[in-house]
Amino acid sequence: MEKMFEFAAKNKIRFSYRGQMTTEDLFDLNLRDLDYIYKCLMEEKKTSEVESLIEKKTENTVLECKIELVRYVFNQKVEEKKAAEAKAENAAKKQKILEILEKKQDAELEGKSADELKKLLEDL
């Protein structure tokens, strides 16, 4: 993966989307925009793979690199989104557990006698 980013930097790879975008600009896009760019690149790849009797078929490493870069950024964003959702879910569960624990502690205190409550107050 590092080699791919190095290749992109050395070759000044740009993406045609709302003007010209650099590789690092891909990280600012949402999943839908990345998917659109990916589809355009795949269409370009299909077009370039059409055989011709006049033109020789050449390997397009820049195009392949672009496709892999978009795929990588897309997958990174999907993973980040999943991690954020899991973190939010865990925070919600933690909050719910704390609320239940607080209710149980309140119920435990309510179950104590007046003398026990006075003793607890004195200890504080």
Residue 57 CB coordination number (10 Å): 10
Q: How far is CA 42 from CA 67, 77, 100, 118, in A?
A: 7, 20, 52, 76
Domain ranges of the chain: 2-123
Tokens for 29, please give them.
């896009």
Q: How far is CA 48 from CA 2, 93, 101, 109, in A?
A: 26, 52, 64, 76
pTM tops 0.75, yes or no = no
Q: How far is CA 49 from CA 16, 42, 68, 71, 100, in A?
A: 20, 11, 17, 20, 62
pLDDT (tens, 9 = 90+) of the chain, 124 residues, equals 778 888 999 989 999 888 899 999 999 999 999 999 999 999 988 887 766 666 665 567 889 999 999 999 999 999 999 999 999 999 999 999 999 999 998 888 888 888 888 888 888 8
